[in-house]
Structure 1
Amino acid sequence: MARERAAGVPGGPEAGPADPFHRRLAAFEGSAAAIGGRGKDPVNAPMIRHWCEAVGDANPAYTGPDAIAPPTMLQAWTMGGLSGHGDRTSAYDELLALLDGAGYTSVVATDCEQEYRRPLRPGDTVAFDAVIESVSPRKTTRLGTGHFVTTRMDVRVDGELAGTHRFRILKYAPAARPDGRARSAERPASGARPRASRPRPVVNRDNQGFWDGVRDRKLLIQRCTGCSGLRFPWLPGCHACGSPAWDTVEASGAATVFSYVVMHHPPFPAFDPPYAVALVELAEGVRMVSNITGVPYDKVRISLPVQLEFLTVDDGLVLPVFRGSEA
């Protein structure tokens, strides 16, 4: 059996014996977080090759007719992608909501542990279950005070345990800054939370033209002058023919929802969850990620027609968003 551990934020001493709130949290221990999950793809050579190239691992054990998958890829075979697996239970969400309600609204991943029982080989199909393994008593760290939540995923092939993945987060209330204020957004005496500043996009020489267009209320799409292919997001060269030459076309603004996700957690001061974030397909054929406005988050659907509009967030920020209609 092999084991790998990645360490993160250490926990401080316990704040005392278990209190009634911790007993409520501990009641979730042993609850299923996912049941009957199955990997969306079998273990396969292309994913192994991409992984090895990304991390620079040239071990010959990962190539050839007798190849095995790198053990550290264990979690990669269980990921559900944008559409998820449909095997997740409500217990984990209920636990996080209980912590949020008690003021432990910040979250950080602290560490993971993996145990390897048998190698995975191309062609293997993995199955998995996950459980809430433990919720710690209240602890104080450099970040703040909160509770460590550990989930354990058991990964199997043909009923045989192939490995175990433990993932630990800290749900915490941020510690005070040196000036005595909380590190998160402060509430004024009235109890109203001030609006945090919306995050700014990263603008560089490759996408400057796009943001210049947004400033002028135009959604510009790059067009390769070598093969006439459209591309988004903006790139310094054509991914189809390799030409560095390009011009732009202005999008009509008509689009449909190709895929979407409703953001519930984690809460962020500049946003009001729940809200919908969508991958929209423009009439011109390219896709982009944006917010959906004009309809409640639970009315957003795949293939919903939407129309481009420009949202003025503040004096320094304009964003392209897409408005839908319930009709």
Structure 2
Amino acid sequence: MTVADLSAQLTAYEGRPAVLGGRGRDPVGAAMIRHWCEAMGVPEPGVEGEAPPAMLQVWIMGGLSGAVGRTAAYEELVALLDRAGCTAVVATDCEQEYLRPLRTGDEITFDAVIESVSSRKTTALGTGHFITTRTEIRANGELAGIHRFRVLRYAPVRTKPASAANDAPAPAERPRPVINRDNAGFWEGVAGHRLLIQRCTACGRQRFPWLPGCGECGSPLWEAVEASGEGVVFSYVVMHHPPVAGFDAPYAVGLIELVEGVRMISNVVGVEPGRIRIGMPVTLEFVRDPEASGGQELPVFRAYEEGL
């Protein structure tokens, strides 16, 4: 099949339904609102019983049981891409419109349409097509919001096998952190073995990661303050799969709550990954990663088991 033929077949699915008669698994509930706010690190809504607008997608997710109400048209589109070698998928972005607040007790229904399928695109992950679905979400039958969700279905880039002349391929380098104008000050601090967080000079709230404005009062004014580096494991995962270039599994990634009240993500070292526990005390260390290009300086947290 030529590229033009495949593109024509894919665009023929534009405008066809992706979900018909979808229904949220549960009504809008206070418990889920509370859990979501805690996970996102944001305060609960000021109006009792209202869900944060950004939770719009939460109420239509299928959970571990998978998508709800997918149509044959959407499954055919996915199968067509699979046959073309686009067997991998990654979510890229979403757009949301909020038309009325969702309140506890609201029954959620939704329908989705395949809004667009892009021409063939080449990305760092591989070559494929972006699929955008447009979902209308209703609360008790009233249109409450519109959710556009975009995924890339792509053919993964295949690495070349090591040549017979080489005993082994060169070791993969770990990816370097993305440094931009918003977080450059943080990485300058790391290079000097200082853990810097931000403090809003308008309302005094401390924050991490670095952002251009305060999430509490909206002020763009802030100052950098040095954190102590002491904290506890708030949450963690032990990575076994999938393999990531430059990382030897298993390794632990922790969400660390610092004594200053902010949280940051980094590796947890010092104990076996299987022995890490929530609430375990940790202390900041700076290490130079020899596997990162240029020997990147990185902040990690050393955990201590009680009684040792």
Deviations for 1:58-93, whole angstroms, at most 9, x for unmatched residues?
A: xxxxxxxxxxx9xxx64x25269xxxxxxxxxxxxx
Count how many residue pairs are aligned between Structure 1 and Structure 2.
Answer: 194
Query: RMSD value over aligned CA atoms?
Result: 4.0
Distance in structure 2 (CA, Å) of the matches to 1:302 and 1:187: 45
Q: 1:170 to 1:204 in 2, by over 3 A?
A: closer
Residue 323 (structure 1) aligned to one of 290, 302, 306: 302
Distance in structure 2 (CA, Å) of the matches to 1:188 and 1:233: 46
Residue 230 (structure 1) aligned to one of 183, 206, 212: 206
Report SS of the residue matched to 1:301: coil
Q: Quote the offset at 1:272 in angstroms.
A: 0.9
Residue 213 (structure 1) aligned to one of 166, 182, 189: 189
Does the 8 Å contact 2:126/2:155 carry over to 1?
no
Alignment correspondent of 1:4 = 18
Q: 1:48 to 1:278 in 2, by over 3 A?
A: closer
Q: 1:303 to 1:188 in 2, by over 3 A?
A: farther
Q: 1:171 to 1:277 in 2, by over 3 A?
A: farther
Residue 78 (structure 1) aligned to one of 37, 59, 63: 63
Mapping for residues 108-187 of structure 1, pairs under 5 Å: 108-109=88-89, 123=106, 175=158, 181-182=160-161, 186=162
Alignment correspondent of 2:54 = 50
Q: Quote the offset at 1:108 in angstroms.
A: 2.5
AA aligned to 1:267 is: P
Q: 1:51 to 1:298 in 2, by over 3 A?
A: closer
Distance in structure 1 (CA, Å) of the matches to 2:52 and 2:226: 40
Distance in structure 2 (CA, Å) of the matches to 1:303 and 1:260: 10
Q: Quote the offset at 1:42 in angstroms.
A: 3.6
Distance in structure 2 (CA, Å) of the matches to 1:250 and 1:317: 20
Alignment correspondent of 1:249 = 225
Deviations for 1:193-231, whole angstroms, at most 9, x for unmatched residues?
A: 532111111111111110100011100010111111100
Query: TM-score normalised to the size of structure 2?
Result: 0.52
Report SS of the residue matched to 1:210: helix
Does the 8 Å contact 1:43/1:77 carry over to 2?
no
AA aligned to 1:78 is: G
Alignment correspondent of 2:96 = none
Q: Quote the offset at 1:306 in angstroms.
A: 0.8
AA aligned to 1:200 is: R
Q: Quote the offset at 1:258 in angstroms.
A: 0.1
Distance in structure 1 (CA, Å) of the matches to 2:225 and 2:285: 17
Query: TM-score normalised to the size of structure 1?
Result: 0.49
Does the 8 Å contact 1:260/1:278 carry over to 2?
yes
Task: Tell me the percent identity.
Answer: 47
Distance in structure 1 (CA, Å) of the matches to 2:165 and 2:28: 56
Distance in structure 1 (CA, Å) of the matches to 2:206 and 2:154: 43
Q: 1:292 to 1:189 in 2, by over 3 A?
A: farther
For structure 2, the residue ranges without an aligned partner over 5 or more in a row are 1-15, 30-48, 66-86, 92-103, 109-124, 128-152
Report SS of the residue matched to 1:201: coil
Q: 1:78 to 1:209 in 2, by over 3 A?
A: same
AA aligned to 2:287 is: L
Distance in structure 2 (CA, Å) of the matches to 1:47 and 1:77: 19
Distance in structure 2 (CA, Å) of the matches to 1:187 and 1:308: 42
Alignment correspondent of 1:16 = none
